[in-house]
């Protein structure tokens, strides 16, 4: 998602904390986001996911169980929110993701044929798919653990943000930044992937982060509406390409210095790329 680029602008207001900071807090987690992380990370050396005796994938269940257990040990109260039907205007982003997975599958197949073991896990991690049966298994596991979950009518992050807005959750948790656009007052990152991880071959310590919407708006001197204009220009899940040729710094300056969305989007040539 293009909005990930906003990190470069808001680094000064991102706070690193220990997982214990969230003790006693209710956190609404993007379930699909977490399950895909587990499917990607929990794999055998040859890239294959964990499976049961019947050949059914269980990586997502292993990750869900142990990560949730870890959260509970810290006194954190998780609420998992599952995606419903994706909105029609997210179709292009889903098609792009599927194309990426197909390319990764081809790279994995070739690495397997050539016996290049060092590349197997890397390519396999990009082929993860979450089936309806796998989602149902995850819900059943949460039921068995006594952990609440919510079925969103559409986007899980939008539902999670709503819980935070209404005070039913203290934080939304996701690796994406969509929650900010949905109005979540407080977003927690790295909740489900804390600890030591290998990134680009180097072992690094990943710690939870807190991002507060009010801090971002004050630091960037933007309103919530302007933050959304900014996101649309650099690209979101609903218009992944954004406006070609306009980078994050230019987009920020444009948005900061105008109060008229009609003039702004006419200037950047919105209709040229998004006629509908």
Instruction: State how far the Cα of 254 lies from the Cα of 268, in Å rounded to an integer.
Output: 9
Helix (H) or strand (E) holding 171: strand 171-173
Our separate counts of H helices and E strands in the chain read 13, 9
Please report the pLDDT score of residue 1 as a whole number.
41
Half-sphere exposure of 183 (CA within 13 A, CB side): 9
Q: Average pLDDT in the 229-258 region?
A: 93
Same domain, 234 and 195: no
Same domain, 136 and 259: no
**Per-residue pLDDT reduced to its tens digit, 152-201:** 999 999 999 999 999 999 999 988 888 999 999 999 999 988 776 666 66
Same domain, 58 and 29: yes
The count of domains in the chain is 2
How many other CB atoms sit within 10 Å of the CB of residue 192?
A: 25
The answer as to whether 238 is a domain residue is: yes
Half-sphere exposure of 152 (CA within 13 A, CB side): 24
Same domain, 133 and 263: no
Please report the pLDDT score of residue 200 as a whole number.
61
Instruction: State how far the Cα of 32 lies from the Cα of 86, in Å rounded to an integer.
Output: 12
Instruction: State how far the Cα of 187 lies from the Cα of 164, in Å rounded to an integer.
Output: 9
Residue 62 contacts residue 49 (beta carbons within 8 Å):
no
Same domain, 126 and 81: yes
Q: Average pLDDT in the 202-222 region?
A: 92
């Amino acid at each position: 998602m293009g909005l990930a680029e906003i990190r470069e602008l808001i680094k000064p207001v991102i706070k690193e904390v220990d997982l214990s900071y969230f003790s006693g807090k209710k956190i609404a987690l993007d379930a699909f986001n977490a399950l895909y992380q587990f499917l990607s990370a929990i794999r055998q050396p040859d890239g294959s996911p964990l499976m049961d005796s019947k050949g059914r994938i269980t990586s997502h269940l292993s990750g869900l169980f142990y990560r949730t257990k870890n959260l509970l040990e810290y006194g954190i109260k998780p609420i998992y929110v599952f995606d419903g039907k994706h909105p029609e205007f997210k179709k292009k982003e889903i098609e792009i993701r599927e194309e990426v997975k197909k390319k990764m599958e081809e790279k994995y197949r070739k690495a397997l044929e050539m016996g290049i073991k060092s590349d197997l896990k890397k390519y396999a991690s990009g082929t993860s798919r979450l089936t309806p049966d796998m989602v149902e298994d995850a819900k059943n596991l949460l039921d068995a653990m006594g952990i609440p979950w919510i079925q969103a009518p559409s986007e899980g992050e939008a539902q999670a943000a709503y819980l935070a807005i209404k005070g039913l959750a203290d934080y939304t948790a996701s690796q994406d930044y969509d929650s900010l656009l949905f109005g979540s007052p407080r977003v927690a990152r790295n909740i489900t992937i804390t600890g030591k991880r290998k990134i680009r071959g180097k072992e690094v310590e990943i710690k939870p982060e807190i991002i507060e919407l009010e801090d971002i708006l004050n630091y960037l001197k933007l309103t919530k509406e302007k933050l959304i204009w900014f996101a649309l220009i650099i690209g979101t899940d609903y218009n992944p390409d954004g406006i070609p040729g306009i980078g994050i710094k230019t987009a920020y300056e444009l948005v900061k210095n105008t109060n008229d969305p009609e003039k702004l989007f006419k200037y950047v040539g919105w209709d040229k790329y998004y006629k509908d």
